[in-house]
């Protein structure tokens, strides 16, 4: 089972005194002295990629630097060797072609600092998500504003090559009112056109899946790992209820269960996944919100704990993380709901041990830290707020020698 993106470089067997770094991607304002561009989103408060040293005992983040980047590096991923970091720069104005960009960085493992290797076109506007294929030879990109997905070769020195494939979604757009929206909801975000929101390979790397929020679809692609090409799978897509808007997904560690969170419908759907064909079959739908909630909400992140016992779903406007117990057959039962201590939790992730959860409160301009009860799944706020302008994602890097 491939590790989730935020744990891609994590090796839990490292000694406790080994440095642990955290990188926080942000929505940032244009920095004319660094890169003369202008993001398509409203100006952000971030300064680029913020670097922190992590206290393994308390979970506290200590500022260790910033790589200034004015193109909203809103999604980050680190290769398995922990030598390179890649950022999706969520802009559409980096050039005359209306495309966003993706950047490759070399990591100084002594102090966590970054050195830019190169920046390439993303294959569409507003790249919002990047993930590495399990082979490590390709970077997968979801372009939210362009409605496309792209495959970028990773070269031997860690730089990125031009796209080996780009797929543009076409077809029916879902309604602005979600079937499963809470009573009184005015939540509307992406049913104006196609919007690719996430892309990731399955654990085997044979298939690549991506969600299109505007189409209410999850696409399944066969992946040619030699040429970096996508082709439709036997079941090329599955459709979610109209207007619900699939945003992110996460595989269970057993590789057979697949959980999708819907941004506008405020639901989590359990699918059975057939690894030999890439086929998805929906089996359960549960609300991401507690009983009785009414009004607007936008879901965000979804994570499965490394032991597969719990699923966590993010709620923006309700500003909470729903906690779900995973039954013997993969079905979910909500057992808790924790306030994020900040506004608009865009994403959250576990540290390499799974003992702490870090939440990016985008509009509150902070990252909050929670202790995770590994037995009950409960989250306990540690009291730690780390100021970061418009944080979007946290990824971790172990710096001791790989074992």
What is the C-alpha separation between 123 and 88, in angstroms, rounded? Answer: 11
Structure tokens at 44: 């952000």
Specify the number of domains making up the chain.
1
Residue 15 pLDDT: 56
pLDDT tens-digit series, residues 133-144: 999 999 999 999
The enclosing domain of 266 has a CATH number of 2.130.10.10
For range 156-171, the mean pLDDT: 96
Instruction: Using the predicted structure, report yes or no on whether residue 5 has a pLDDT greater than 70.
Output: no
What is the C-alpha separation between 254 and 306, in angstroms, rounded? Answer: 10
Residue 400 pLDDT: 74
Nearest Cα to 70, choosing from 43, 96, 51, 92? 43
Q: Yes or no: say if 152 and 139 are a contact pair by the CB < 8 Å rule.
A: yes
On whether residue 403 sits in a domain, the answer given is: no
What is the C-alpha separation between 388 and 76, in angstroms, rounded? Answer: 15
On whether residue 356 sits in a domain, the answer given is: yes
pLDDT tens-digit series, residues 258-311: 999 999 999 999 999 999 999 999 999 999 999 999 999 999 999 999 999 999
Residue 8 pLDDT: 38
pLDDT tens-digit series, residues 356-388: 999 999 999 999 999 999 999 999 999 999 999
Query: What is the extent of the structural domain holding 72?
Result: 5-398
What is the C-alpha separation between 178 and 117, in angstroms, rounded? Answer: 42
pLDDT tens-digit series, residues 306-350: 999 999 999 999 999 999 999 999 999 999 999 999 999 999 999
What is the C-alpha separation between 178 and 227, in angstroms, rounded? Answer: 39
Share of the chain above pLDDT 90, in %: 85
On whether residue 160 sits in a domain, the answer given is: yes
Residue 97 pLDDT: 76
Q: Do the strands 84-89 and 356-361 form a parallel or antiparallel pair, or are they unpaired?
A: unpaired
On whether residue 253 sits in a domain, the answer given is: yes
pLDDT band, very low/low/confident/very high, at 18 (cuts 50, 70, 90): confident
On whether residue 382 sits in a domain, the answer given is: yes
Q: What is the SS3 assignment for 161?
A: coil
Q: What average pLDDT does the structure give for the chain?
A: 92
Q: Do the strands 217-224 and 84-89 form a parallel or antiparallel pair, or are they unpaired?
A: unpaired
| Per-residue CA distances from 278 to 51, 205, 263, 370 (Å) | 37, 11, 23, 35
Nearest Cα to 293, choosing from 245, 239, 232, 334? 334
Q: Yes or no: say if 344 and 362 are a contact pair by the CB < 8 Å rule.
A: yes
For every residue of 307-364, which 3-state class applies, written as one string? CCCEEEEEEECCCEEEEEEECCCCCEEEEEEEECCCCCEEEEEECCCCCEEEEEECCC
Residue 343 pLDDT: 96
What is the C-alpha separation between 3 and 132, in angstroms, rounded? Answer: 10
109-116 LR contacts (CB < 8 Å, sep 24+)? 109/82, 109/83, 109/397, 109/399, 110/399, 111/64, 111/65, 112/19, 112/21, 112/23, 112/51, 112/53, 112/64, 112/65, 112/397, 112/399, 113/51, 113/65, 113/67, 114/49, 114/51, 114/67, 114/85, 116/67
On whether residue 176 sits in a domain, the answer given is: yes
On whether residue 239 sits in a domain, the answer given is: yes
On whether residue 205 sits in a domain, the answer given is: yes
């Amino acid at each position: 089972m491939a590790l989730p993106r935020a744990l891609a470089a994590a090796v839990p067997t490292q000694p406790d005194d080994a440095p642990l770094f955290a990188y926080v991607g942000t929505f940032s304002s244009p920095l004319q002295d660094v890169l003369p561009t202008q993001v398509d989103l409203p100006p952000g408060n971030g300064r680029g990629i913020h670097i922190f040293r992590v206290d393994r005992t308390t979970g506290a983040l200590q500022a260790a630097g910033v790589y200034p980047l004015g193109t909203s590096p809103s999604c980050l991923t680190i290769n398995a060797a922990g030598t390179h970091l890649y950022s999706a720069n969520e802009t559409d104005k980096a050039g005359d072609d209306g495309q966003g960009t993706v950047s490759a960085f070399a990591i100084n493992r002594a102090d966590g600092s970054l050195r830019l290797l190169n920046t390439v076109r993303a294959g569409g506007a507003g790249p919002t998500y990047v993930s590495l294929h399990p082979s490590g030879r390709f970077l997968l990109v979801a372009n939210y504003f362009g409605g496309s997905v792209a495959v970028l070769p990773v070269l031997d020195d860690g730089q990125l090559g031009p796209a080996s494939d780009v797929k543009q979604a076409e077809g029916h757009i879902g309604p602005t009112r979600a079937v499963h929206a809470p009573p009184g909801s005015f939540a509307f975000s992406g049913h104006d056109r196609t919007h690719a929101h996430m892309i990731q390979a399955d654990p085997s790397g044979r298939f690549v899946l991506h969600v299109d929020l505007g189409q209410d679809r999850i696409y399944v692609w066969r992946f040619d790992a030699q040429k970096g090409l996508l082709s439709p799978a036997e079941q090329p897509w599955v459709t979610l209820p109209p207007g619900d808007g699939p945003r992110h997904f996460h595989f269970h560690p057993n590789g057979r269960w697949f959980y999708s969170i819907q941004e506008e419908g405020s639901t989590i759907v359990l699918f059975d996944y057939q690894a030999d064909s890439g086929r998805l079959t929906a089996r359960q739908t549960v609300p991401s919100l507690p009983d009785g909630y009414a009004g607007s909400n936008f879901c965000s992140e979804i994570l499965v704990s490394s032991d597969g016992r719990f699923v966590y779903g993010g709620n923006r406007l309700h500003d909470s993380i729903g906690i779900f117990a995973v039954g013997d057959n993969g079905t979910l039962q909500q057992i808790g709901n924790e306030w994020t201590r900040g506004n608009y939790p865009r994403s959250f992730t576990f540290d390499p041990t799974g003992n702490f959860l870090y939440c990016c409160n985008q509009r509150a301009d902070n990252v909050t830290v929670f202790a995770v009860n590994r037995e009950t799944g409960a989250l306990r706020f540690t009291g730690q707020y780390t100021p970061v302008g418009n944080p979007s994602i946290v990824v971790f890097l172990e710096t001791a020698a790989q074992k």
